[in-house]
Amino acid sequence: MSSNDNTISFPELIKLKRDGGQLSSEDIHTFVQGVISEGIQDSQIGAMLMAIWQKNMTDEETLALTREMMNSGHTFEWPKEWLVVDKHSTGGVGDKVSLPLAPALAACGCKVPMISGRGLAHTGGTLDKLESIPGFNVKQSVQQVKQIIKDVGCCIVGQTESLVPADRVLYATRDATSTVDCLPLITSSIISKKGAEGLSALVLDVKFGRAALYKDLDSARELAQSLVTAGNRLGVKTGAALTRMDAPIGQSVGNAVEVCEALECLKGRGPDDLTELVTILGGHLLWLCGNFTLESGKKEIALKLKNGEALKKFQAMLEAQGVSEDVARSLCSDETDYFKHMRRAAHQTELKVPDDGAVLDIDGLALAEVLHKLGAGRNKSGEEIDHSVGAEILVKMGQRVQKGESWIRIHHNIDLSTDQRSDLQKALVIGSLDKYKAVSRVAEFIHPNNPKMS
């Protein structure tokens, strides 16, 4: 059942979906236009989202919603010869992949207009991390974004007022109506923003595990397949990596400390798992563009991290987005005291290993939740955060440790409570080394033409 009458009322559209009917492209156009023109009441938007949450959407409905949202505001257009690419992550702990990946891709000749978000609850936000750097401005106009992409090749910015305005309304209403976890609404929100960027190719990092939105591989795969299908049907070559999100990525969690680690990665000395994710996701993007094989794409990204070309692009991006030349140059030099420029927390407290043994696990969610309470995260959109709060993990997975040695350094401005110390100690799992098994962050990859090719 569907309605093809453009004059159908909003209550009738809500009833149609509530009763399990299929919305036509015209119905969805009417709904989205009502959202951006404020011709539909907030209560009606909420009712429609709940009806979608309860009755789901077909692939055709999801695609129509994504396309209407994408076209609800400004869309970028680029010279035809440009390879315009981006990456999107579903959020995790210690996920600073975008910071080295965008400039590495730019160093490979790609254009990367990366539109990122802020952290909410226990997950960190790329924009918050970059705002740890004095002067970095994530608010750039459409014209400024175009100029930075032309001059530098990459930028990392927040969503502009004119880009996908329908998503801003629907996202806020989803949050208020407990419809955030609805697959068609997640798909349309993510892909509409990426489609509006005018991309040639997109790679999605869909995380699963204890510290991820999706706890198991099957549910993460379902989301990844929905995103890949919608992206490709919109004309963007889209693939997705399914990646493990139990222990934090890298050795740092928090805003300023993650910037430090991203800079180390750009200098060719980042932690192995972070470097692995950057090279795999970047390599897949180069492959999706058609200019590289998977292996040669990964090698090209790794080379740009090693030879300093990605670092030069990062420095140029910092300067283009408001960081002074002196600060940008210093951060990107051989200098390792990054806190000459970024604010350091008043206190650094190290916690000790309770027993001899090997590091079997570090609970990223437990760690992130403590840091959140110390001021590193926000409970609702718009809240201020403390960029200096964070943690440096001083041990690695599988490493032999002795009782009494330091395993983590917490950067904080308010006192650590007894409960917080206890929660942090519970995050560390020590046991026999023969129980440890190293695994790649990447579980499998969903390619456009091969849904389960790993």
Residues designated catalytic: 88, 167, 174, 189, 193
Residue 332, CA atoms < 13 Å, CB-side half-sphere:
24
Q: Using the Cα atoms of residue 261, residue 372, residue 247 and residue 395 in order, give the sign of their dihedral.
A: positive
Q: Using the 8-state DSSP alphabet, how is residue 448 labeled?
A: T
Q: Where are the alpha helices (DSSP H) in 138-209?
A: 142-151, 165-177, 183-196
Helical packing angle, 59-70 and 165-177, nearest 10°? 120
Phi, psi of 153 (to 5 degrees): 110, -15
Instruction: Determine contact, residues 206/240, Cβ cutoff 8 Å.
Output: yes
Strand positions, DSSP E, 302-420:
347-352, 357-362, 390-393, 400-401, 406-412
How far is residue 191's CA from residue 226's CA, in Å, rounded to a whole number? 10
Cross-sheet strand order for the sheet of 357-362 = 400-401, 357-362, 428-431
How far is residue 98's CA from residue 88's CA, in Å, rounded to a whole number? 8
How far is residue 164's CA from residue 150's CA, in Å, rounded to a whole number? 22
Residue 162 corresponds to which tokens in the numbers above?
């004119």
